């Protein structure tokens, strides 16, 4: 098929004769499906949960390219985290012993992917603004986000690199953040309610004709050019398969002998009832703690945090929640007087170099993967989805070739 130059609307190709299976019903899978459906592709989404989107729902909802550096994990950080001294970054020593190569690669990649991540986050923000302009989905969108620091020098350094207006401690206090040294307000970046985004996008995908099937996928395979989804009820052939199953994507890749080097990093969320009170004047990321704070509408305050590389464990959440709340109370005015409505957790899919994994899987013709967005699953879901959609439609992907190389699945193929 002839290739065409990409644009946001994907206007040059319409493919009603094509059928694609998307494995994973979170935001990455839904955005991939959305862009394919807009071009007439028949899309079937397989999800293991009736409502899906657990990691997509339980996140900060901050779409902030300026604050989108990869997590900083050094040997010192790893040692502290393994001993329980790492604060909101925690690591299981058992997992280190199980996957020493994965952790060694993370240490080697310290800060190296920041430019790639910021580029993708910025392109994704543009896609979000285009999406919200075209689709009537209420997501409690707020323009303007603050990066908050203990030390004013850190705020000044971020402003020098990324721009934005520097705020002092007094200004932060007036906006609802106390006990911090300085911040950077970036007016063109946004905060959204991720649960509303997830539900609205899922509804729109179904309106466009996407079918969502609640069934566990056991694996994938490819015979010639025809990929197949392996289900307990049998195999389903199609023209393309997209693995967008988050932190469980690696399990699906075993059947095609590919290791995406994806590992889960657990995070938690606490939702408070504000009873109509305006608690904070702008959403923020408390950078020293990795805590996100955002108010949705007049009744909900969202607090998110923790980066725990402990596998798919669900124990210890209550203790984490108490620590998250205790820390947030020190820096969010009035939090102690609010009623906790609900809490939850999600598993961020992180690769061994903390960069996204987006593209065609090596050794296959029509099987693609989109995962590894780590702490930026909501931020980068649109760009991940449109890259995969453009590849399937044989369009030139909407990013620079050097970026595609950095996020290519081929980087995890062993070369002697």
Q: How do the domains of the chain map onto residue ranges? A: 1-64+112-140+192-260+352-416, 142-191+262-351
Does this model's pTM top 0.85? My answer is: yes
pLDDT number for residue 11: 47
Q: Give the number of C-alpha atoms closer than 13 A to the C-alpha of residue 179, restricted to the C-beta side.
A: 9
pLDDT number for residue 102: 82
pLDDT number for residue 411: 93
CATH topology identical between 1-64+112-140+192-260+352-416 and 142-191+262-351: no
- Going residue by residue through the chain, which has 416 residues, state the pLDDT in tens, using 9 for 90 and above: 333 334 444 445 667 789 999 999 999 999 999 999 999 999 999 998 765 556 777 888 999 998 866 556 666 666 666 566 557 788 887 888 788 888 878 777 766 788 899 999 999 999 999 999 999 999 999 999 999 999 999 999 999 988 999 999 999 999 999 999 999 999 999 999 999 999 999 999 999 999 999 999 999 999 988 999 999 999 999 999 999 999 999 999 999 999 999 999 999 999 999 999 999 999 999 999 999 999 999 899 999 998 888 888 889 899 999 999 999 999 999 999 999 999 999 999 999 898 999 999 999 999 999 999 998 899 999 999 999 999 999 999 999 999 999 999 999 885 43
Q: Which one is the CATH code of 142-191+262-351: 2.130.10.10, 3.30.9.10, 3.30.1360.20, 3.40.50.300?
A: 3.30.9.10
Report the DSSP pairing between strands 165-168 and 182-191: antiparallel
pLDDT number for residue 76: 63
Q: Class assignment of domain 1-64+112-140+192-260+352-416?
A: alpha beta
Share above pLDDT 70 across residues of the chain, in percent, rounded to a whole number: 89
């Amino acid at each position: 098929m002839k290739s065409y130059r990409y644009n946001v609307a994907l206007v040059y190709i319409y493919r009603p004769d094509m059928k694609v299976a998307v494995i994973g019903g979170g935001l990455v899978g839904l955005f991939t499906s959305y862009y394919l459906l807009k071009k007439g592709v028949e899309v079937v989404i397989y999800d293991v949960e009736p409502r899906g989107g657990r990691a997509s729902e339980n996140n900060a909802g901050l779409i902030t390219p300026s604050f989108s550096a990869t997590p900083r994990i050094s040997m010192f950080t790893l040692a502290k985290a393994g001993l329980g001294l790492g604060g909101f970054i925690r690591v299981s020593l058992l997992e280190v012993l199980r996957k020493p190569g994965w952790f060694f690669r993370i240490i080697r990649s310290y800060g190296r992917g920041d430019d790639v991540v910021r580029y993708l986050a910025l392109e994704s923000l543009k896609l979000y603004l285009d999406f919200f302009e075209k689709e009537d989905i209420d997501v409690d969108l707020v323009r303007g986000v603050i990066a908050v620091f203990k030390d004013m020098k850190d705020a000044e350094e971020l402003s020098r690199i990324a721009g934005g207006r520097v705020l002092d401690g007094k200004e932060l206090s007036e906006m609802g953040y106390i006990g911090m040294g300085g911040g950077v307000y970036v007016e063109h970046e946004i905060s959204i309610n991720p649960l509303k985004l997830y539900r609205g996008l899922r509804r729109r995908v179904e309106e466009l004709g996407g079918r969502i099937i609640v069934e566990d996928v056991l694996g994938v395979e490819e015979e010639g050019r025809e990929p197949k989804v392996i289900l307990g009820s049998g195999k389903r052939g199609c023209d393309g398969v997209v693995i967008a199953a988050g932190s469980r994507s690696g399990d699906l890749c075993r059947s095609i002998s590919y290791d995406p080097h994806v590992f889960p990093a657990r995070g938690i969320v606490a939702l408070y009832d504000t009873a109509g009170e305006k608690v904070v004047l702008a959403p923020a990321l408390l950078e020293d703690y990795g805590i996100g704070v955002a108010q949705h509408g007049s009744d909900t305050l969202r607090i998110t945090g923790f980066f725990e590389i402990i596998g798919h464990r669900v124990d210890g959440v209550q203790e984490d929640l108490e620590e998250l709340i205790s820390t947030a109370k020190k820096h969010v005015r009035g939090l102690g007087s609010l009623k906790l409505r609900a809490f939850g957790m999600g598993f961020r899919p992180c690769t061994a170099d903390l960069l996204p994994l987006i593209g065609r899987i090596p050794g296959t013709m029509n099987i693609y993967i989109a995962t590894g967005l780590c702490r930026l699953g909501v931020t980068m879901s649109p760009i991940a989805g449109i890259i995969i959609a453009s590849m399937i439609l044989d369009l030139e992907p909407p990013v620079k070739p050097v970026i595609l190389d950095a996020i290519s699945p081929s980087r995890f193929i062993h070369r002697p």
